[in-house]
């Protein structure tokens, strides 16, 4: 199965700023998925990122707040924009090849 490198692993950010999270996959994949895990909660899908097209966002998530790039078949970024303390979560990327694998997560704290 695919191996995903995700960074940063954690960050503490000031409210109103933005953070970009990167995921690099060791093989080419058609779709990449971005999830959010709020404290004490399970994972919620933010969006699906296909190479060469705009990401598809789930209900409750919008492109202006969570812009996603997918420049090629092995890389994607998620930006959390204009952050507030409510954005404090773990953010994870995932790909589905022979089952789904996940990056190690980015633990974001907004102060």
> With binding defined as CB under 8 A, does residue 5 bind other proteins?
no
> With binding defined as CB under 8 A, does residue 99 bind other proteins?
yes
- Which positions from 72 to 91 touch other proteins by CB under 8 A, shown as an x/- string? ------------------x-
- Residue 44, token pair as written in the block: 């919620």
> With binding defined as CB under 8 A, does residue 109 bind other proteins?
no
> With binding defined as CB under 8 A, does residue 100 bind other proteins?
yes
Q: Give exposure, 11-26, as e/b (b: 16+ Cβ within 10 Å).
A: eebeeeeebebbbebe
> With binding defined as CB under 8 A, does residue 50 bind other proteins?
no
> With binding defined as CB under 8 A, does residue 48 bind other proteins?
yes
Q: Of 13-21, 35-43, 68-76, 78-86, which segment contacts other proteins by CB under 8 A?
A: 35-43
Residues that bind other proteins (CB under 8 A): 1, 6, 33, 41-45, 48, 90, 92, 94, 96, 98-105, 107
């Amino acid at each position: 199965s695919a191996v995903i490198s995700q960074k940063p692993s954690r960050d503490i950010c000031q409210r109103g700023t933005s953070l970009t999270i990167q995921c690099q996959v060791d093989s080419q994949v058609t779709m990449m998925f971005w999830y959010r895990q709020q404290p004490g909660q399970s994972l919620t899908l933010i969006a699906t990122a296909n190479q060469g097209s705009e990401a598809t966002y789930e209900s409750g998530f919008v492109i202006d707040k969570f812009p996603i790039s997918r420049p090629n078949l092995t890389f994607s970024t998620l930006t959390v924009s204009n952050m507030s303390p409510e954005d404090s979560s773990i953010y994870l990327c995932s790909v589905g090849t022979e089952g789904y694998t996940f990056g190690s997560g980015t633990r974001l704290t907004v102060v």
